[in-house]
Amino acid sequence: MLELHDGALTVPEILARWYALEATSNYGAYIPFVGTVREEDGIDGLSFDVYEPILTSWFDAWGAKVAPLGAVLKMAHSRGDVYLHESSYIAAVFSPKRRVALETIDAFVEDFKASAPIWKYDLKDGKRIYARERSTAIAGAGLLGRNG
Amino acid sequence: MLELHDGALTVPEILARWYALEATSNYGAYIPFVGTVREEDGIDGLSFDVYEPILTSWFDAWGAKVAPLGAVLKMAHSRGDVYLHESSYIAAVFSPKRRVALETIDAFVEDFKASAPIWKYDLKDGKRIYARERSTAIAGAGLLGRNG
Amino acid sequence: MITVEFLGPIQKPVLSMEASTLREVAEVLKQDPTMAEWIENCAVAVNDTLVGSLDTPLKEGDKVSLLPPVCGG
Amino acid sequence: MITVEFLGPIQKPVLSMEASTLREVAEVLKQDPTMAEWIENCAVAVNDTLVGSLDTPLKEGDKVSLLPPVCGG
């Protein structure tokens, strides 16, 4: 399950809804990761562009990767503006056993940061400024500049 | 924050309450781990004994350990009977940054399993049977049997 | 004709051009001074699948997407 | 007098005894056939602090706790 929301996520609602969805699926472990906008560098908030087709295929590939472990993944992300102390990202894993859940949430969140086609902007002084220094080139980037 | 509840945990309420408690603490990452009773081996549920004084000092030691990383921990656990597909355990970490949060929740949950003074029983056919094979001797156990 | 779209912070409208491989697209984009800051750090997708070779063939109607450095979360 | 309490699954009422070190408590418990299954796998706390030595001194009113293998979660 991949959800995109306009603006901030309603964290309690999402955490409760996912928990209820899997209430009788016999998973022993549920680990959500909630990402919240921090006050730093004088920003008023963050803003996000999401490219949904590639995000969906990336997410589906992760689903296929963890299915043999008995795990399922869910994710919610914001589009547009999210202000200080609001949340923009929730990733969650359900699995029968805790080790799989703990290892999966770590690997999923790290790959999300490195690969998911989402772009972050600082909201500052009424402007929307690409967070270039905090962004990561996707694996394989630079292809167009190769010679030969 | 360490909470002991009689019977199953009200997971949505706890996750929402903790989120609200730290809503303006400027943490960027919130990771709860939720443990739920699985249907296996024909059990009707699990039951727990908790020894609160040592649990509290164990938990407080963890709080002191992660404070220099800027992280805080919260934990809720059931006492008594918890039935199938109900939850008995929530551990959660808040921290400014995701790596600290991901590493802390993993280490905390694993040490909880190895060290927290809580005893688990299977509820089966009206009996309460100590889950000896799934239990772990606390580090340093066996002291009384040493010679000399 | 194929189209080239620029995602996220690259402020550039969709391009249409004739090209039979990704290499031909790269040659065009390398001439564009507004692309200088992006050529070395963008990943490339054809029809929404990331690709790893300039020899990737293109056919009529294909969509090439440029993905600059990401930061979700 | 000190007390010895048995936590979790050890079905045994609190004991009171005279002892000035944990070693003396161990000697008593090792004589008890109902303790045979627990001696080798219990951790020991004195006044709710885990201890690692049989030479741990005990004084009047101290509480020794035996903690069998755990499994929270």
Q: Which domains does chain A have, with CATH numbers?
A: 2-135 (3.90.1170.40)
Determine phi and psi for B142, rounding to 5 degrees.
100, -5
Residues of A in contact with B32 (CB under 8 A): 15, 31-32
Q: Which positions 45-64 of C are in contact with A (Cβ < 8 Å)?
A: 45, 48-54
Are D41 and D58 spatial neighbours (Cβ–Cβ below 8 Å)?
no
Q: Do C70 and A145 touch (CB under 8 A)?
A: no
Per-residue pLDDT of D24-62, as tens digits, reads 999 999 999 999 999 999 999 999 999 999 999 999 999
Are A107 and A113 spatial neighbours (Cβ–Cβ below 8 Å)?
no
Q: Do A144 and C44 touch (CB under 8 A)?
A: yes
Give percent of chain B above pLDDT 70.
99
Are B47 and B24 spatial neighbours (Cβ–Cβ below 8 Å)?
no
Determine phi and psi for A120, rounding to 5 degrees.
-110, 140
Q: What 3-state DSSP class applies to B18?
A: helix
Cα–Cα distance for residue pair B118/B128, rounded to 1 Å: 15
What pLDDT, on a 0 to 100 scale, did the predictor assign at position B145?
A: 93
Per-residue pLDDT of B14-64, as tens digits, reads 999 999 999 999 999 999 999 999 999 999 999 999 999 999 999 999 999
Distances (CA, A) of C49 to A137, B138, C24: 16, 51, 18
Q: What 3-state DSSP class applies to B99?
A: helix
Which chains have at least 3 CB atom pairs separated by less than 8 Å from chain A? B, C
Residue of C nearest to A49 (CA): C8
* pLDDT higher than threshold 70 for residue A37: yes
Which chains have at least 3 CB atom pairs separated by less than 8 Å from chain B? A, D
Nearest to B41 by CA among B116, B110, B118, B134: B134
Q: Which of B18, B98, B113 to mutate to test the interface with A (most CBs of A within 10 A)?
A: B98
Q: Do B57 and D39 touch (CB under 8 A)?
A: no
Q: Where are the alpha helices (DSSP H) in chain A?
A: 11-21, 52-66, 98-115
Task: Determine the straight-line distance between the first and last CA of chain B, rounded to whole angstroms.
Answer: 41
Distances (CA, A) of B16 to A18, B12, D36: 13, 6, 46
Cα–Cα distance for residue pair A99/B46, rounded to 1 Å: 20
* Amino acid occupying residue B14: I
What pLDDT, on a 0 to 100 scale, did the predictor assign at position A147?
A: 78
Which of C26, C51, C72 comes nearest A89 by C-beta? C72
Q: Do A101 and B33 touch (CB under 8 A)?
A: yes
* Amino acid occupying residue B23: A
Tokens of D24: 């003396």
Shortest CA gap C47–chain A (Å): 9
Q: Do A27 and B36 touch (CB under 8 A)?
A: yes
Q: Do B33 and A98 touch (CB under 8 A)?
A: yes
pTM: 0.96
Are D21 and D54 spatial neighbours (Cβ–Cβ below 8 Å)?
yes
| Fold of the domain spanning C2-67 | Ubiquitin-like (UB roll) (3.10.20)
Q: Where are the alpha helices (DSSP H) in chain C?
A: 22-30, 36-39
Q: Where are the alpha helices (DSSP H) in chain B?
A: 11-21, 52-66, 98-115
Residues A58-87, mean pLDDT to the nearest whole number: 98
DSSP state of D56: -
Tell me the longest C-alpha to C-alpha distance in chain B: 56
Angle (CA) A39-A45-A51 rounded to 5° is 130
Q: Which residues does D62 contact at the CB level (< 8 Å), separation at least 6?
A: D2, D3, D46, D47
What pLDDT, on a 0 to 100 scale, did the predictor assign at position A148?
A: 59
Q: What confidence category does residue B146 fall into, taking pLDDT thresholds of 50, 70 and 90?
A: confident
Tell me the longest C-alpha to C-alpha distance in chain C: 37
Nearest to A105 by CA among B75, B104, B38, B84: B104
Which of C65, C66, C72 comes nearest A116 by C-beta? C72
Instruction: Count Cβ atoms below 10 Å from residue D24 Cβ, excluding itself.
Output: 15
Domain ranges of chain C: 2-67
Which of A12, A26, A33 comes nearest B38 by C-beta? A26
Per-residue pLDDT of A89-132, as tens digits, reads 999 999 999 999 999 999 999 999 999 999 999 999 999 999 99
Shortest CA gap B3–chain A (Å): 19
Q: Which residues does C32 contact at the CB level (< 8 Å), separation at least 6?
A: none
Task: Determine the straight-line distance between the first and last CA of chain C, rounded to whole angstroms.
Answer: 36
Residues of B in contact with A96 (CB under 8 A): 38
Shortest CA gap B62–chain D (Å): 15
Residues of B in contact with D73 (CB under 8 A): 35, 88-89, 109, 112-113, 118, 120
Cα–Cα distance for residue pair C2/A6, rounded to 1 Å: 31
Q: How high is the ipTM of this complex? A: 0.95
What pLDDT, on a 0 to 100 scale, did the predictor assign at position B147?
A: 78
Distances (CA, A) of C68 to A6, A129, A139, C30: 22, 14, 11, 15
Residues of A in contact with C53 (CB under 8 A): 143
One digit per residue, the tens of pLDDT, for chain C of length 73 reads 999 999 999 999 999 999 999 999 999 999 999 999 999 999 999 999 999 999 999 999 999 999 999 999 9
Shortest CA gap C39–chain A (Å): 6
